[in-house]
Amino acid sequence: MDLPNDGQLPAESETAELLRELLAGGEASAFENMTRFMELMVRYNCAIREVRTKFEVLNEELSFRTSRNPIESISSRIKKPASIVKKLRRLGKELTVDEIEKSLNDVAGIRVICAFIDDIYRVADMLARQDDITVIRVKDYIRKPKLNGYRSYHMIVEVPVFFSQSKQMVRVEIQLRTVAMDFWASLEHRMKYKKAGADRPDIANELKSCAEVIAATDARMQGIRERIERMENGSDAGQ
């Protein structure tokens, strides 16, 4: 099957390239590859549901225990074909279904927005201790921010997904942030992918300065919350 190239945006041409690779090798092979690709996407979607449910359960339990919700929101996404192509190329891998499953840990992604920094660590620890969750990797960009100021807590986990005839272990990337961290990351991401802001060190420096202010504000807000809680418990009445 020949797919048109002319006049396509880069993302569209990369998607077309992935389709070409999957459909190459004759009708039988093309059908098998596309079927396997679609099955893989189903597995990733189901894994997202499994992990989302776990966070929703933890949030409900902690809300009952502490009378507040540690999780503000949960969002999820499946990596687009164009992004899959870019990532495989960057890693020097072939554009195959096997390589997607073997080499990419972030096809299925979940973002958890928490109210406070300590909520991030509490929720992440509770998830990691569940006996059907395998933690593959953790990157703590809160305690060790990136050079540009980016802060977030990243986890790669593996979760079992049960189907009618099999159990599949599927990897999911999780990002946990405060509301302020997420607001900053969204603006920084927008600047990074806009040509007008890509070569503006003044904007990058200002964003980094904002990241430091946000980190300090997150810490202060947590301190205020802890003080209010001590007052409610009668242990900070004189301060």
Judge contact between 139 and 174, C-beta under 8 A.
no
CA 101/CA 147 separation, integer angstroms: 30
Catalytic residue among 173, 188, 206, 212: 173
| Residue 66 one-letter amino acid | T
Nearest to 127 by CA among 141, 115, 144, 110: 110
| Residue 177 one-letter amino acid | R
Q: Let me know if 226 is a catalytic residue.
A: no
Kindly provide the residue ranges of all beta strands, DSSP E only, lying in the chain, ordered along the sequence: 71-78, 108-114, 134-140, 153-162, 167-178
CA 111/CA 158 separation, integer angstroms: 16
CA 183/CA 186 separation, integer angstroms: 5
Enumerate the active-site residues: 173
